[in-house]
Structure 1
Amino acid sequence: MKNLLGLLVLLLLLVSCRYPREEGQISALKENTNLEVFADSVALERLPVKNSFTYLHKGDRVVVAELNVHATDSVDSIWVKVAHSQEVQGWIRQSELVQNFVPSDSISQFIHFFSDTHASYFVIIFFVFVGVWLFRVFRKKQLQLVYFNDIDSVYPLFLCLLMAYSATLYESMQVFVPETWQYYYFNPTLSPFNVPVILSVFLLSIWVFIIVFLAVLDDLFRQLTPSAAVFYLLGLMSCCIFCYFFFILTTHFYVGYLFLAVFTGICFQRMRHSMGYRYRCGNCGRKIKEKGECPYCGAINQ
């Protein structure tokens, strides 16, 4: 755990040293960006001819051909020319484009898909977990759950903490620097380098989340049977999604940072307590802090 935290701090220092500042950038969009219409229909103006329009429909793919600034436009000064074909092309305000188009890049498609459907997925996963939990309780079988009846590993709780931090960072960008997230949405990357610091930290938290998740799987399937591991993963998934929604909602109202500080303290206290047990009783298998008499079954461990 200490090595993992040290690596996180080192990478954060490295990415913080490279903060790109693009002077004169007028738009999150760039020329030759591929987009896809997700609205039912979109009207494009055939400028400079006034009141002349061409229409795109859901699923149509276009490319950004040109950007221009109309300083006299009181609605949106940035206009974007997109082309579907040689015959079908026209201009649209950037604000309207953002509302009706999604980049065809796989990362942006994932962000758009998750943003539109995560609430329903959360409800489904949560109620599946509750149903399975009630069924197992009814059958009087023990259910292991992160924090309450956890496995012998600090990684599941650390995974929930990472999800809380990622959600807080995501919502912080939405509240304080929405243009940064919009720029990333139209110019996605998996690299934490050559992006603004807050994006570097966010992307870094995602990579660390993946690494810790692999560590969870390794510990989980070594300690539990496959069926018990599946139930535990379902519960862990529900906990992570709950953390995601809870910290997004509370950060939007600026109290999420206080909850995050409290949650961090609780998690590290629990993880430090778990790491304090260096031995395991040879009779009952419970973790003990030192050799000698087991406080649970009374067996002598030497």
Structure 2
Amino acid sequence: MARYIIYGAGAIGSILGAGLYRTGQDVVLVGRGRHVEAIRRDGLQLRAQGQLRQIKINAVDDLAKLKPKVEDRLVLTVKAQHTADAARTLVSAYLPTTPIVALQNAIRNEEILANRFQCVYGGLVEFSGNFLEPGLVEHTRNNLVAIGKFPQGFDSVADALAADLEKAGFQVERSENVMDIKWWKLVLNTNNALLALLGCWLQKGQSDPEIYSLMADVMEESLGVLRRAGIHPQAPAEFPPLDLAIQKLRAGETSCDYDLPPEERTYPSTWQDLQLKRGSTEVEFLNGEIERLGKEHGVLTPLNSLLLRLVSAMALNRELPGKYSPQEIKSLFEEAKL
């Protein structure tokens, strides 16, 4: 039986690991010191669907505390800005033939891993979680995961992982072209920066006309760059294509009940990084990816470039999310387009 090493077990990694563990899989979470300390003392506290579960799962704060096994499967859930360091750490302990899957935002993680590992798999995470405090995470919405071999294809290792995730209660999409699905997610993620600047959670953003119009503008710019670059993002089976998603967002058709308790709101990872004053975010690998592609293909990206600059400065200065109002961002967008 495979042993799953969840490397970078914050909210998403802990939710994945807990699901696998509860079905009888051998799982080890590798995470930050205080989170691991709380898990080892009290178990992982997982809040989902109105219930709080205590899960006595194995956790370590240092990969050196584990003895590698031939049957290990590496699951990378760190933020994109930490992928290169994680790859160096993992390859120092594991053979290059060890299977590794990148269940992360952004689309360069697999490329980085492929420089050190021979069996790399791409993964889409289309569910949300909040890190409430060390030892306590919440699964707030959705449960979709997509899996495929990098750069293309699907094999028995991917199928075994997909089957294990399905047993754990996740909806799994098996894909021969998983990177096309990850490009789809990248366009959605370009709004992470916007919501962080506004101090806003997803449900409110999708329901407030002042905000969802800005979100639609950002997605439209991002999709235009991908099309000029010849990239064809593919939505998972149950989601609309991006052009229709933008149309629905702009028309207010994604509105929902957003008056939720704070712990049930879906905050993007960029918001969480600013809130925790971590000093860095994934913005360089999200909006920065669009900016780089735009420069390469002669497309201006004023909105993504502005979001990249503003969030990078806030992270560097350890500023909290919510620095800007929708009206201020709208004015800055209009200036950036001139």
Q: Same fold (TM over 0.5)?
A: no
Greater helix content: 1
Q: TM-score normalized by structure 1?
A: 0.24
Q: Which has the larger radius of gyration?
A: 1
Greater strand content: 2
Q: TM-score normalized by structure 2?
A: 0.22
